Amino acid sequence: MNIAVLGAGAWGTALAAQAALRHRVLLWGRDAAQLAQMAASRRNQRYLPDIELPASLGFEADLGRCLSAVGEEGLVVIATPMASLRAMLQQMPPQARVLWLCKGFEAETGLLGHEVAQALRPGAPSGVLSGPSFAEEVARGQPTALVAASLDAALGEAMVQAFHSDSLRVYTSADPVGVEVGGAVKNVLAIATGLCDGLAQSGAAGAPGLNARAALVTRGLAEMTRLGVALGARPDTFMGLSGLGDLVLTATGHLSRNRKVGLLLAEGLPLDRILAELGHVAEGVYSARTVCRRAAELGVDMPISQAVVAVLEGQLTPPQAVARLMAREAKAEQLV
């Protein structure tokens, strides 16, 4: 299969490298000098410095040439952050089979990826690949399971054909809404567990600990499910890889950028400095307000996400956010 991966950050590079072991893959990035350096050194020095890229992976700095090489039978994989999805979709040929990897809500419009695609390319086949997957592990060929969601069953199967391998299991789903809500909300919740674990490390009396983290994951899953169902998702999708699976990974895994944002905020570092030093996108920072805005429009209660927004905006300190969550009224435990 011919595959074009558009975006040479950590995740685009990792998936392109894996797919290139079995398919003809071209990696495109907006920085031609970076691509040339990658082609020469077989490394992505900026985003995945420790990974040797396969000799079979091709590089193309010209987007038009990259897309022509794929043709209508191949796959175009958009691997940029959510903020650039719209601009990338606008450049896609009408018949191209397109999927994206980004996890978030578009900040300005509050739309999920499939809603942006529907607005720009109505009726064109599109899909999203999501699930618990740190780029570094995928690039090293460590076992990983993903979910390929599309309303177009043929595209779902093409996504499996493109990425399923001995180290990558790719499941299909016909619920892009649920898969995208899971991927977006887990990033916000990972900031919450990072905040919690950062406070735990302080050792202060009454600071949250492991019990609190488990509560955040569980009640966070309830929040995510409520929002997803209100947006038309199937509730069981949130028990799957893109819901519970990615939440557990990102909320507890030390490789998560979103979790790291929370940890550093709890240490008292200012957000702008954290983001400047991170060197990678942390989508939860940009999606948190949008998650809360869409939830409010639908009358969905998302107290953990609201607490994250309050901390990101400097309205609450991390300990105040914990206190606010603990002060909520007692209620019956319900997932949806």
Ligand X SMILES: NC(=O)c1ccc[n+]([C@@H]2O[C@H](COP(=O)([O-])OP(=O)(O)OC[C@H]3O[C@@H](n4cnc5c(N)ncnc54)[C@H](O)[C@@H]3O)[C@@H](O)[C@H]2O)c1
Q: Which residues bind ligand X (CB under 6 A)?
A: 7-12, 29-30, 47, 79-82, 84, 87, 101-104, 133-135, 280-281, 283
Annotated binding-site residue? 258: yes
Residue 258 binding partner per list ligand X, ligand G3P, none, with a CB distance cut-off of 5 to 8 Å that depends on partner kind: ligand G3P
- Residue 171 is labelled as binding a ligand: no
Give me the helices (H) in the chain, please: 10-19, 32-41, 63-70, 85-89, 113-120, 135-139, 153-163, 176-202, 210-230, 246-252, 257-266, 271-278, 283-297, 303-312, 318-326
Residue (126 or 130) nearer to ligand G3P, CB? 130
Token output for 200:
């735990």
Taking the complex as a whole, how short is the minimal distance between the CB of residue 14 and ligand G3P, in angstroms? Answer: 11
CB of residue 211 vs ligand X: minimum separation in angstroms?
Answer: 28
Tell me whether residue 190 or residue 200 sits nearer to ligand G3P (CB atom): 190
Comparing CB distances to ligand G3P, the nearer of 67 and 99 is 99
CB 275 within 8 A of CB 296: no
**Taking a C-beta distance cutoff of 8 angstroms, is the pair 187, 251 a contact?**
no
Establish whether 100 is an annotated binding residue: no
Q: Give the residue nearest to ligand X (CB).
A: 9
Active site residue 186: yes
Interface positions with ligand G3P (CB under 6 A): 103, 132-134, 187, 190, 246, 249-250, 256-259
Is residue 201 within 8 A of residue 218, CB to CB? The reply is no
Q: The tokens 């999203």 sit on which residue?
A: 128
**Nearest in space to 274 (alpha carbons), one of 311, 324, 247:** 311
Choosing from 97, 114, 121, 186, which is the catalytic residue? 186
Q: How far is CA 96 from the centre of its chain?
A: 23
d(CA 72, CA 2): 9
Consult the annotation and say whether 272 binds a ligand.
no
Query: Annotation-wise, does 44 bind a ligand?
Result: no
Q: How far is the CB of 103 from ligand G3P (least distance, A)?
A: 5
Q: How far is the CB of 69 from ligand G3P (least distance, A)?
A: 28
Please, which residues have CB within 8 angstroms of residue 18's CB and are 6 or more apart in sequence? 138, 139, 141, 163, 165, 167, 168
Binding partner of 316, given ligand X, ligand G3P, none, CB within 5-8 angstroms per partner class: none
Among ligand X, ligand G3P, none, residue 190 binds (CB under 5-8 Å by kind): ligand G3P
CB of 146 to ligand G3P, least distance (A): 9
Smaller CB distance to ligand G3P: residue 20 or 184? 184
Angstrom distance (rounded) from CA 266 to CA 212:
15
Q: Is 37 helix (H, G, I), strand (E, B) or coil?
A: helix
Q: Annotated binding residue at 135?
A: yes
Minimal distance, residue 9 CB to ligand X, in Å: 2
Distances (CA, A) of 85 to 27, 60, 148: 16, 19, 17
DSSP 73-141: TSEEEE-S-GGGHHHHHTTS-TT--EEE---S--TTT---HHHHHHHHSTT--EEEEESS--HHHHHTT
Question: 59 contacts which partner out of ligand G3P, ligand X, none, CB within 5 to 8 A by kind?
Answer: none
- Judge whether 292 and 309 are in contact, CB under 8 Å: yes
DSSP letter at 27 equals E
Q: Report whether 103 belongs to an annotated binding site.
A: yes
Contact 50, 118 (CB under 8 A): no
Q: Which is nearer to ligand X, 11 or 238 (CB)?
A: 11
Which of the choices ligand G3P, ligand X, none does residue 173 contact, using the CB cut-off of 5 to 8 A by kind?
none
Q: Which option in ligand X, ligand G3P, none does residue 30 bind, with CB closer than 5 to 8 A by kind?
A: ligand X
Binding-site residues from annotation for sn-glycerol 3-phosphate: 103, 131, 133, 186, 246, 256-258
| Binding site members for NADPH | 11, 30, 47, 103, 135, 257, 281, 283
Q: Which residue numbers are catalytic?
A: 186
